Structure 1
Amino acid sequence: MITVRFITPGPNGPLQDREVEVSADGRSLMKAAVDAGVDGIAADCGGALTCATCHVYVDQAWLDRLPPPSADEDTMLDYTAEERRPNSRLSCQIALTPALDGLCVTLPQRQW
């Protein structure tokens, strides 16, 4: 098990900070977030890389620990509801491994 920190916008603006213990078995960050009931991950396509509703901003300290986005992910990031940033990723494309223990991501204000 590893811990992932999710920072989500609150309903009235303040951020909510939640740490979740998830399995590091290679499943996606999106799946782990949905299974843990993290608000803000719509995951409309279920991880098929066709909707961009699992957009997250990866904490700068973790960017170098992730493989770069694939060409398909890079294209889909152009269709996110919120601004694309240099640290934008689709959580369906981040495979959880023990090396990602402590990963921190911030969810955008909206996914659609």
Structure 2
Amino acid sequence: MAQLTIIAFDGTRYELAADEGSTVMENAVRNSVPGIDAECGGACACATCHVYVDEAWTEKVGVPSPMEEDMLDFAVDVQPNSRLSCQIKVTAALDGLVVRVPERQG
């Protein structure tokens, strides 16, 4: 298990115990985090699970794949630390990860 914090746009913090091998998106949906719509169910085909990775974690999370970069073109207000939460796999190295949900999804 890894600790995951998702901060909703209104500032509400969701402190989640996430299974290793699951994705940030799966944990957000399972815990009804508002703003993570995940319309495609995690297939990297919609950009409705867009999050901002906390600056302290961007290096550990890594960069988006080319396919994810293409889907981020459909997200709203993309920042350098933008990722699709369906593409962030929870690992022991990401214990304590903090992500923020944007104001709205694409």
Deviation string for 1:3-32 (max 9, x for gaps)? 11111122xxxx1122111111x1211011
**More displaced 10-residue stretch of structure 1: 32-41 or 82-91:** 32-41
**Residues paired across the two proteins, number:** 106
Aligned counterpart, 1:44: 39
| Greater Cα radius of gyration, structure 1 or 2 | 1
Which of 14, 21, 37 is equivalent to 2:17?
21
Aligned counterpart, 1:4: 4
Q: Distance in 1 between matches of 2:14 and 2:82?
A: 19
Aligned counterpart, 1:108: 102
In the TM superposition, residue 110 of structure 1 has moved relative to its aligned partner by 1.1
In the TM superposition, residue 67 of structure 1 has moved relative to its aligned partner by 2.8
Kindly report structure 1 stretches of 4+ aligned residues shifted beyond 4 Å: none
Deviation string for 1:19-57 (max 9, x for gaps)? 111111x12110111112211100000011110000000
- For structure 2, the 5+ residue unaligned runs are none
- The secondary structure found in structure 2 opposite 1:6 is strand
Q: Distance in 2 between matches of 1:34 and 1:76?
A: 19
Deviation string for 1:81-100 (max 9, x for gaps)? x2000000000000001111
- The secondary structure found in structure 2 opposite 1:79 is coil
- Output the TM-score relative to the length of structure 2: 0.94
Q: Distance in 2 between matches of 1:29 and 1:7?
A: 12
- For structure 1, the 5+ residue unaligned runs are none
One-letter code aligned to 2:9? P
Q: Distance in 1 between matches of 2:65 and 2:9?
A: 27
Q: Distance in 1 between matches of 2:25 and 2:31?
A: 10
Q: CA RMSD in A?
A: 1.0
% identical equivalent positions: 48
- Output the TM-score relative to the length of structure 1: 0.90
